[in-house]
């Protein structure tokens, strides 16, 4: 995709995706570092929100935190379920792009009634309900989004959480690799893709995304619904070869996000040969499958994987002749606080 071709440039979705490299380049880690000081007092952090405001930003933070061996304990949960938890020893961050997500407001209102003093909001808007129920709100700088599918805000939320981890590491790549990541992001978004693969995806009744529990594959599963109006499923880790192959069909497609080298042969045996389905990989390395090759930039690999998936889905949507900015039933704010 690009902003020169008339097939893409009129869509707000494409415009917002193409703003993401500059979101990366201009990202200011200072507010996240201030938040990290607050979190460090408890060393326990719950990241909550709904949909795209939680899936990639929060799960990527959990993944990166565990890779670092940080002394922090970071967990994530949907806001409604989090209302059932005893959170007095946790700092709680609630991400809501709109600042009006009903489930997040309900959780924070409950925590306020309980006297919880470490509840923080992350939003793109001022003067919203999330400000009222948070001890402090932090604000995204990416600007508003007009397409139903959230994109650039998801990346900035993820960068905010990742920058908080700089409290526990030296020379964080989130700061030192910004320029390289921004350039790689633009390349990934604009890279041409194999037309035959796009045709197979466009014809598929369901698209599976398989990969690590970093939020990338799961977020792309949601974006598939919003952008291509197709059914999709997220297959965590190696789930794809642990039984679901029984009901898979040759006309379906699975996209492997950064596949585990030790399991690629098994995926080939079970999915490509056993089911007879098309298997596509998104990876910085060559794989036995048709591969969308992307750069590897320390601290930003998962972001680049996500953007490669966006590019793929936009091509499918354009091939199908869809309005990429609107959906039949999906809404920009899934569940709005009535106030």
We report the CATH number of the domain holding residue 197 as 3.40.50.10490
Give the number of domains in the chain: 2
Given 132, 157, 176, the domain boundary residue is 176
Residue 307 and residue 309: Cα distance in Å, rounded? Answer: 5
First to last CA, the chain: 39
Higher pLDDT, 241 or 331: 241
Residue 227 and residue 223: Cα distance in Å, rounded? Answer: 6
Do residues 248 and 294 share a domain? Answer: yes
Do residues 31 and 166 share a domain? Answer: yes
Output the six-digit token pair for 206: 């369901």
Do residues 152 and 248 share a domain? Answer: no
Residues above pLDDT 70, as percent of the chain: 97
Do residues 40 and 171 share a domain? Answer: yes
* 41-87 tens-digit pLDDT: 999 999 999 999 999 999 999 999 999 999 999 999 999 999 999 99
CB 91 within 8 A of CB 38: yes
User: Is 28 part of any domain?
Assistant: yes
Do residues 223 and 95 share a domain? Answer: no
User: Is 251 part of any domain?
Assistant: yes
Do residues 140 and 272 share a domain? Answer: no
Q: Among all chains, which residue has been given the structure tokens 């060393």?
A: 43
Among 25-29, 31-35, 333-337, the minimum mean pLDDT is found in: 333-337
* 171-210 tens-digit pLDDT: 889 999 999 999 999 999 999 999 999 999 999 999 999 9
Do residues 265 and 139 share a domain? Answer: no
Residues above pLDDT 90, as percent of the chain: 92
- 139-146 contacts: CB < 8 A, separation 24 or more? 139/31, 140/97, 141/23, 141/26, 141/27, 141/28, 142/19, 142/23, 143/19, 145/12, 145/16, 145/97, 145/332, 146/12, 146/16, 146/325
pLDDT, position 326 = 83
Residue 286 and residue 302: Cα distance in Å, rounded? Answer: 17
Given 176, 201, 222, the domain boundary residue is 176
User: Is 272 part of any domain?
Assistant: yes
R_g of the chain, CA atoms, integer Å: 20
pLDDT, position 169 = 80
Query: 295 is in which domain, residue-wise?
Result: 186-319
Do residues 191 and 172 share a domain? Answer: no
> Distances from the Cα of 128 to the Cαs of 23, 36, 166, 213, 285, in angstroms?
23, 23, 29, 31, 44
Do residues 201 and 267 share a domain? Answer: yes
pLDDT band of residue 337 (cuts 50, 70, 90) is low
């Amino acid at each position: 995709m690009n902003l020169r071709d008339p097939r893409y440039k009129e869509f707000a979705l494409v415009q917002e995706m193409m703003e993401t490299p500059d979101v990366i380049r201009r990202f200011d880690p200072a507010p996240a570092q201030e938040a990290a000081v607050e979190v460090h007092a408890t060393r326990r952090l719950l990241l909550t929100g709904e949909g795209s405001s939680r899936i990639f930003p929060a799960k990527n933070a959990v993944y990166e935190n565990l890779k670092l061996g940080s002394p922090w304990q970071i967990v994530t949960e949907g806001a409604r379920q989090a209302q059932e938890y005893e959170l007095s020893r946790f700092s709680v961050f609630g991400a809501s792009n709109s600042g009006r997500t009903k489930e997040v407001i309900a959780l924070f209102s409950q925590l306020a009634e309980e006297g919880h003093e470490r509840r923080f909001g992350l939003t793109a808007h001022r003067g919203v309900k999330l400000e009222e129920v948070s001890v402090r709100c932090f604000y995204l700088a990416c600007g508003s989004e007009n397409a139903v599918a959230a994109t650039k805000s998801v990346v900035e939320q993820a960068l905010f959480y990742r920058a908080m981890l700089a409290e526990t590491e030296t020379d964080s790549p989130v700061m030192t690799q910004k320029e390289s990541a921004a350039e790689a992001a633009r390349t990934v978004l604009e890279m041409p893709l194999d037309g035959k693969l796009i045709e197979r995806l466009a014809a598929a009744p369901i698209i599976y995304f398989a990969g690590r529990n970093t939020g990338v594959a799961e977020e792309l599963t949601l974006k598939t619904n919003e952008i291509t109006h197709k059914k999709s499923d997220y297959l965590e880790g190696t789930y794809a070869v642990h039984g679901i192959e029984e009901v898979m069909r040759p006309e379906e497609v699975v996209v492997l996000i950064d596949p585990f080298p030790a399991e690629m042969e098994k995926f080939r045996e079970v999915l490509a040969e056993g089911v007879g389905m098309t298997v596509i990989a998104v990876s910085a390395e060559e794989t036995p499958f048709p591969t969308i090759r992307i750069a590897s930039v320390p601290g930003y690999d998962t972001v680049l994987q996500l953007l490669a998936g966006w590019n793929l889905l936009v091509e499918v949507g354009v091939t199908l002749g869809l309005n990429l900015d609107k959906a039949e039933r999906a809404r920009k704010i899934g569940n709005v606080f009535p106030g």
